[in-house]
Chains A and B, each alone.
Chain A
């Protein structure tokens, strides 16, 4: 009897949890479906769950909307910013994790505090600086901004991962006469590779989805996908099929990244404060 009771209870909990999950996910699912509808089906009332799928909207996004131009910007900016941020953050995190000094703790907290600087607070000077140096609407401009805004989080995340690497292993390498360069590249990096990979992944996600600076500092030539999608908020956005296809293409890669890295993300996003 108790076993049956437990099974019923478990089924009820499962049904409730699935109902919540589907309700939360529904808008994304609906966007995915609408991308495969003809424009007529997309705005039919009441909305239809059963329809004749077509690739027309996707073809239009690729042909007319120049999707690849924006996707290429997103990819180039996110990848480049991630590489640069790792090149800066790995040595910094190494120094603080393995050679801590009296000021290390203060330095870590100070770094984090720079991330708290609200973007809108410095919008005016950054906009004027970008305009005066010719970096407005350039990929370089966004890369610089993304590197600077994400650097503190990446240092913290790597610091958290590096501190889990057993010190004796590094010492053994040093006994064998490894230089610092060899110690980092041949001992530390292979050991910490999973952590470095998830740090890079989080950097990609943050850069890909960033909207404040991309909306304010780019218009056309360097515009990444968030700016491209925002351009659909004009009356043209009423082409629901096209909007949905473009949106699906913009979020799909990063959604998959997010699913793959959800566990490590918690650590990165909370700076190791929640384990």
Chain B
């Protein structure tokens, strides 16, 4: 059986009493005492101090620091709540924007609503939570301690228990055995509930609200998009460098060699120049293929439909194209879709032993859909090679998906879907 992740789940388990949970509850309740006292002390002290100092500016500055105190309390309390909630409480704070100074970071945190909620929790902890915890947790601990100690006390002295007088170790032991387990059982459940309630309160006040969760998700998505974008820009830069630099130089070289061929008489020298010329041409052809793989120019100039056609044309097997797309799609989507098409078709050509292949693409309700189907042997899967896995990551960042259905024996169907608009 899986061990419970929260005290509520633990309370429902028949093994609750013999688990660590009663003791975690004690630890949580009793540790709230120093935290509560400290919070109250700091907050009251700071409030008093700033009241006294308010005529001068420093008092007002101290008031402004309250949300930050709240944020610090929240930080500690979210960790302490880990005693009751194994997974802890996720932070409600937004990720700090990059490149902020220390001062700007503090200002950012201070303005957050979550910091004010944590401050509120600090007051609740300081005023209500810890006295209640101390009272019930402490009382229960004392009773439990005395119950365990009873045999020894009774051995030395008389212990009056209502009308029953315990005056020997044996009687004390009898009391411990009779009273201890039922008391432990009842108090453990009560304290578990109390500790659970406090942890739930902490979670409600210190955990992220729905909109904070959504905001964090959006921020994550944006940063991944930025990453894809940076990757794309870099590819384009490399492509341009090769194209405008290396490729041009090689072309210039073939021209010079071509002219030299005209001037040279038949003989060894001319034979060597001709050889150099064909070598330069081969290098150009290689470079052309490489550049196309990095960032196909046709995609940039003419869009996905034309680029997919070029890819299909290079395939050794006939590819039926069935593409109806709007003129242009957002650049990162076009690029991702292009690489899906070229990678998939290359895989079909390499592994599928197919005789035909059909590529379809359309936009349906704001989603770009691309499917590739072949009549090959099947058995393809994402994760077998690096190619498709990389594409899945790219698509994921754009909010898209890639599914491969390829039973052994075939046929293989691949379907890519991706939202066509960015940022929603």
Partners in one complex: no
